Amino acid sequence: MDESLEWVNRGYGKNNVKLLYVRREGSLHTIKEYEIKTQLTLNTDKDYIVGDNSDVIATDSQKNTVYILAKRHGVSSPEDFALLLVSHFLYTYPQLTKAKVEVDEYPWQREVMDGKPHNHAFVFSPQYHHRCTVSQRRGEEPRISTGLEGLRLLKTTQSAFENFVSDEYRSLPDMKDRIFSTIVSANWEYNTSKGVDFGMIWITVLKAIKDKFSGPAELGIFSPSVQNTVYLIQKTVLEALPEVSKIQVTMPNKHYFTVDFSKFDGMEGVENNEVYLPVDKPSGNITATLGRKKGPKSKL
């Protein structure tokens, strides 16, 4: 390569490898459906520079590896399966310097019939999207992150937004009680890959989001701002899960504005039936990443 040039990044792999895994324990069946992306980086660039493919692991071989390892070892969680694939690639092919695997999980849930969980029927229930990424350089520990996307939440009270900057550009009034609706995205990174119960962590993060947004069933929880809700979720996760090093939460506003009936006759005495206009765009977008301070005095 020209001495004035250097690689910023390079790698190759297989995208959109689709996998349905079925575990049969007698009449009780369990399924996992994943879409997987692999990416490998060689310790030489001769495939790019001179077209020498002698060290290249074909993308078709990478695809087949997904199916073979699922068959041999089974599938438990996106994170565990991604770790298995990354470890396999680095162990099997010494010419690799890095392996990266992304796994998207399809949201299947067991069907319930007449109040009973069905043995072998499932319903596609896209309440949220589960994605993870595992990358590892040879000789280093794997880096693991998990993402939650598309969790749409709404509550009709216990939310306000007041005392923000009032200047010549402001048109939004203070709101002591408003509808709070959002689509939650979260991404968290782990500080270890040893002995981690990824399924438990997923459930814990999901519970923290719902608890700090919704609160108890009868009373709810008051939110003075989306920012405060974001922080409470992050603080709860980091306090509960020492395996998590940092967490990003993004919560865009999905606005619902009160319909103005003042121009219509006979509407003054109509109470309790509130009508709102959903407005998707434009929308506010609140995001933050909260992590642990480095050093012995780390406190949240």
Does the annotation mark 32 as catalytic?
Answer: no
Place of tokens 């109040």: 115
Which of 80, 76, 98, 102 is CA-nearest to residue 89? 98
Does the annotation mark 29 as catalytic?
Answer: no
Which DSSP helix (H) or strand (E) runs through 289?
strand 285-291
Query: From the candidates 30, 59, 204, 289, which is the catalytic residue?
Result: 59
What is the Cα–Cα distance from 233 to 212, expressed in whole angstroms?
6
- Alpha helix (H) ranges present in the chain? 46-49, 59-73, 78-92, 198-214, 226-240
- Alpha helix (H) ranges present in 22-162? 46-49, 59-73, 78-92
Does the N-terminal peptide bond of residue 242 adopt cis geometry, omega within 30 degrees of 0?
no
Helices H, strands E: what count in the chain?
5, 12
Does the annotation mark 255 as catalytic?
Answer: yes
CB atoms within 10 A of CB 58: 11
Query: What is the greatest pairwise CA distance in the chain?
Result: 81
CB atoms within 10 A of CB 175: 11
Query: From the candidates 210, 246, 255, 289, which is the catalytic residue?
Result: 255
Dihedral (CA of 2, 5, 11, 12) sign: negative
What is the Cα–Cα distance from 101 to 92, expressed in whole angstroms?
15
230 three-state secondary structure: helix
Q: What Rg do the C-alpha atoms of the chain give, in angstroms?
A: 24
State the catalytic residues. Answer: 14, 59, 255
